[in-house]
Amino acid sequence: MKKLITFCSVLTTSLLFSSIVSADTHKPRGGNDHGHIQAWYDSSVSSYGYTGHFDHAVSTWNGRNANVSISKTLNNSGQVDRYYVGTTAELGLFGRTNWYNDLGINVDPDWFSYSRSVVSIYHNQLKDYQNGVNFTSTRIRHTTAHEVGHSLGLAHTTSSAQLSTSLMTEGNNPSLNRNINTPSSYDISELRSLYGGPAFMALPINVDTSNQSEINIETQHESFATLSELSDYSDLVVIASPIDDFENRKHIATFYDTGDLQDYYTLNNLSIKKVLTGDQSNIGENLEVIESNGLVDFGAQKIKMINDGYKETQKGQDYIMFLKKDSQGQYQIINRNEGTFTIDEVNSATINRPGTFITRENSVRDNLLSEIANTYSNEL
C-alpha cells in the first residue's frame, strides 16, 4: 500500500529550514477547517460503559500544540466523526476505523482525502483478551486512543526507535506497549505534520486520483510473535487448501443503523489435508473458516476491505493454518499474515534455501516460519 510522503518546513526559535520526511500518516483530512472535528457518541458508547474511555481519547489528542480540536456533538449528520462500541465475529479484533469522503463513500486514506471517520471498538473481544485477565481501563483507553489517532489520519508507526513508546504502534509488533494510552512526542510530531502547529507546517503531495477498488484498514488486534504463544491460543493447526477463489467465497458485511460499516469477513471453505494439533474428532474433509478480508457492496461500488495488509489465502495452495474456535463453534484464521504459511515456504525454510519463497516481510513472520519449519517438517 502506498504511504503518504509529506514535505515539512521546520521552524525553531533560531533557524528556519526545509526538510523531507516520510511520515507515518495517511492523507490529510479534507475541508477548510479540517483540524476542528466534531465527534458524535452513539448510544452504544454509554450502554457498554465506554464514555469515559472515549472522553480520554478525545482529550489526549486535544491541546497537543497541534491545530487539532475534537469536540462532542449531539448531531450525527453531516461530516462528523462517529464513535461506536459493539461486537465482532473476528477473534482478537479490538478496534477498527473507517474513513468516508464528502459523498459518504468509504475511502482508503492512503490514497484519498476524507471528511469523516467511524471508530468502532469491539467490547466482546477486549473482554475476552487472555480470558479477561487484562481487561483493564488502561488497556481499553489504549485501544480507543489508538483508533481515534487513526481517525485523525495517523498510520501505524514504522520508526524502529519509536515503537516501544508510540501510541500508534501496530498490534502485531513485539515492541508494542498496551499500557500506553497517551501520544508520545513522536506521535504529536506526526499529528503536526498533518495539521500544523508551533513546530511543523505540512504540505501534502502525491495525490492519487486512480479508481479505488481496495481499502486497507489498520486495526487494533491480538497478535502472537512466537510459535509457543500462537499454538497455545490456537484450537486447531491444520494443513489445508482453499477450495474457492476469494471472489467466490461467502462475503459477510454488517452495518450500523446509520449506514456506517460495522463489520466484515469472509467464509473460506477449506479442504483439510491433515490436522497437526487439536481435536480432530469433528473435523471432516472440508471446514468453513472465517478470514478477515471481505468484499463489501456499498451500492455504488463493491470494495475489497483488507485488515492490516492481510493477504488472503489462495485457491489450490496448501497452507499450515492456525485456527481458533469462537463461542458459536466457528473456526477462524488468526494472527493475520503470521497465521498462514504456505507449505512451499515451510519446505524452503526447512532445507535452508534463503530467498526461495520466504518473503522476509518482517522479522516476526520470519522467526515464526523458522519455528514452524523446525516443529512440523516431519509432518509434511
**What's the pLDDT at 13?**
23
| Cα separation, 282 vs 270, whole angstroms | 15
Q: What is the dihedral of CA 26, 28, 29, 34, to 10 degrees?
A: 150
Task: Write the pLDDT tens digit of every residue in 123-138.
Answer: 999 988 777 777 789 9
**What's the pLDDT at 361?**
54
Contact 181, 167 (CB under 8 A): yes
**What's the pLDDT at 27?**
80
What is the full DSSP assignment across 312-329? ---TT--EEEEEEE-TTS
Q: Which of 215, 64, 274 is nearest to 152 (CA)?
A: 64
277 CB neighbour count, 10 Å cutoff: 15
Task: Write the pLDDT tens digit of every residue in 209-263.
Answer: 345 689 999 899 888 999 999 999 999 999 999 999 999 999 999 999 988 999 9
**What's the pLDDT at 84?**
98
- What is the DSSP secondary structure assignment for residue 29, as one 8-state letter? B
| Cα separation, 2 vs 206, whole angstroms | 10
| Cα separation, 87 vs 126, whole angstroms | 10
**What's the pLDDT at 48?**
96
**What's the pLDDT at 128?**
84
Per-residue pLDDT of the chain (380 residues; tens, 9 = 90+): 333 333 222 222 222 222 223 358 888 787 545 788 999 999 999 999 999 999 999 999 997 777 889 999 999 988 999 999 999 999 999 999 999 998 888 999 988 889 999 999 999 999 887 777 777 899 999 999 999 999 999 999 988 899 999 999 998 888 889 899 999 999 998 998 888 875 444 333 333 434 568 999 989 988 899 999 999 999 999 999 999 999 999 999 999 998 899 999 999 999 999 999 999 888 999 999 999 999 999 877 889 999 999 999 999 999 999 999 988 899 999 999 999 999 999 988 876 644 444 444 577 888 899 999 999 988 88
Element (H, E) at 31: none
**What's the pLDDT at 212?**
62
| Cα separation, 122 vs 132, whole angstroms | 14
CA distance to 94, 110, 199, per residue, from 217 (Å): 13, 10, 29
- What is the DSSP secondary structure assignment for residue 211, as one 8-state letter? P
Task: Write the pLDDT tens digit of every residue in 194-207.
Answer: 888 754 443 333 33
